[in-house]
Each structure stands twice: as C-alpha cells, then as structure tokens.
Amino acid sequence: MKYLLSFVITLFIFSECFSASFPKYASEFLYTAGDSRAWSMGSAYVAATDNATSGFWNPAGLINAKGLQVYFTHTRQFLSSIQYDYITASNQFEDGTVLGFSFLRLGISEISNVPENSGIFDNTGLIGIDYSKISTFGTSDNTFLFSYAKKYSDDLFVGANAKVIYRSFSSESAYGIGFDAGMQYKWYPELTVGLMLRDITTTMMAWTTGEKEFIAPSLRGGLSYEYLLDDWGLSFRPAMELGLLFESRDAAAQFNVGPVSLDSFWGLETAYQNILFLRLGYDDLERFNGGLGLAITKFGVDYSYTNFDAELGNVHRISFHLNLDAI
C-alpha cells in the first residue's frame, strides 16, 4: 500500500509540473472503447473483468480467461456517424500465464471538406455552391494491444500491456507506443480489488506535421464483490470504480483539484445459472447504462445500451464471444 501511495503522490507532483504539456482529451478515443458487458456495467470493470477483454480494462484479469477466448464488438454511435470495432483474443498456457492480443478501431468516413472558394456569388451574395470543389476525407484511431498476465500468488494477479497507437486525420497521421500495468487482488474469496495504471511512461503521439501530443498517466481502481444464492442459481456482482486523470478537465469531471480530476463508475451484474445476465451501470458522465447477456456452452452474446443526448442518439453495442480449448 505504501508503494501505491508513493506512486500516486509522484503522479500528482508530475502532473503539477507538466500538466500544461498534456492536451486535454488526447486519449479520449480510448475511453469510448471496450465491450458490451463492461459498458452495461457503467465501465466499473477494473476489478470485475475476467475474460479476454481484460487486455483493455485490466490485463491482470486475463488470469481468469480460461482456454482460448475470442471476442468481437461492433458499435455505431452518434447517429451512426462513428464506427467502432473491437476484436480481442487470449490464450491460457499450461504454466498458468495468459497472452492476449486486441485491436480497436474508431473511425469516421465521408467527412466533407468545404473550401472557402466553393461558394458561388453574384452582386446579391451567395447563390449556390460549386460541389466540384468539395472533397471528403476520413479519420481513424487504431490501437494494438499485446497483453501478458501471470499469478504472482494465489490471491494476487498481475498483468501488463504494450500498445501501439496509429491515428490518421485526412492526409496526416501519428504513431505512438505506450505501456499499461494492472493488478487484481483477492482480498476475500468474494471481494476483488483491481488497479489499472494506463500510459505509465507517458505515451507520446508524433504527427507527420511535426506536432507532438502526450497522453498523461492515469489511474483506475475499484472493487468487485460476488454474492451467490446457490439454491436459486443466482449470483450478484456489484462493482464500483474511481478514475484519476491528470489533464486539467475542470468542470468536465465529477471532482477536480487543479490538474487532477476524479470520476466514479458504478455497476451491477446479475446472473442466472451463468447463462442469462442482466446488467446495470452508471458512468462518469452520469448516464444510465444497461444490458443483457446470454452464454450457451462455448458461445455468448452481450448487448448494452447507453442513454445519450437526444440530439446524438442513444448508443447500442453488441458483442459476440467464443470460449474454446487452449492451444
């Protein structure tokens, strides 16, 4: 615990000294990623994650991803203008270690580029548009995650990510390499503590324009408790999480002091015979989330709903997953 406290204090001092060099929301595209199960639980998932998607939420959770698992998620959001795809796979080896790979893509296509000289004017003003001068372009954010997890002891699991980020905007692009680390600790058999440190070395994005963006380190910690009603075949898993950012988000965060902001996430999963699932969540943007899940032998499907502003449309996500024998 004293090492964790020292790390948090170091992050705070670092953010005070260098927060001005970190553009706000440089890593925002990563906070819109993830799978349907996690989103329906309000993203309170750092302690609850236990499958192949742990590579994104907390790589330590991969220890509980038995065999070979494959997940795929597709989302269209903001009136279908943004396309999001996420595929991840993990494999558990005989020594208990787990390797995972994830690919995430967030993209927008057919964005109109309207130059100033596309207007047609006469002495009365604008009378039309010269559409031959209008072109379109696209933008995308792509992330590759390489994950590793192992048991440090029967109660402590640790994991790490190496990630490669490629971003494109029209004819320009940027590359970056970053690292994450996570842990899960079984405080009691039913109670799990999770911790995820993202971009622990600070991730630099180098654009072809010569501009550089820096993604500041961030910290997420949470609790997950599993309560079983064996006679009824029911289980309940409430989860809560706190996210600490160092990007001077001010009023955009639930709580903030200087460059430091703090947000909370809340979730609940109810399962019947580990076949049918009902999930509820409340995220950092104070939105209601909900979802359903179905798992039959080696195949499963999850659905999530996020309540959004009427102008942008609600967000629906669907995920498919396969559980196979390890290779």
Tens digit of pLDDT for each residue in 171-185? 889 999 999 999 999
Is 125 contained in some domain? no
For residue 291, pLDDT over 70 is answered with yes
Domain that includes residue 80, residue range:
2-115+134-324
Give the torsion sign (CA, 65, 70, 76, 82).
positive
Is 176 contained in some domain? yes
The total number of structural domains in the chain stands at: 1
Is 178 contained in some domain? yes
Is 121 contained in some domain? no
What pLDDT shows up at residue 3? 44
For residue 288, pLDDT over 80 is answered with yes
What pLDDT shows up at residue 252? 72
What pLDDT shows up at residue 63? 95
Q: Determine contact, residues 143/101, Cβ cutoff 8 Å.
A: no
pLDDT mean across residues, the chain: 84
Q: What is the average pLDDT across 120-138?
A: 73
What pLDDT shows up at residue 20? 47
What pLDDT shows up at residue 310? 59
For residue 157, pLDDT over 50 is answered with yes
What pLDDT shows up at residue 102? 95
For residue 108, name the pLDDT band (cuts at 50, 70, 90).
confident
Is 214 contained in some domain? yes
Look at phi and psi of residue 67 and say left if phi exceeds 0, alpha if psi is from -120 to 50, else beta: left
Is 127 contained in some domain? no
Q: What is the average pLDDT across 94-106?
A: 92
CATH number where 314 lies:
2.40.160.60
Is 123 contained in some domain? no
The vertex-318 CA angle with 54 and 162, nearest 5°, equals 25
Is 30 contained in some domain? yes
Q: Which residue has the higher pLDDT, 213 or 195?
A: 195
When computed from its CA atoms, the radius of gyration of the chain, rounded to whole angstroms, is 22
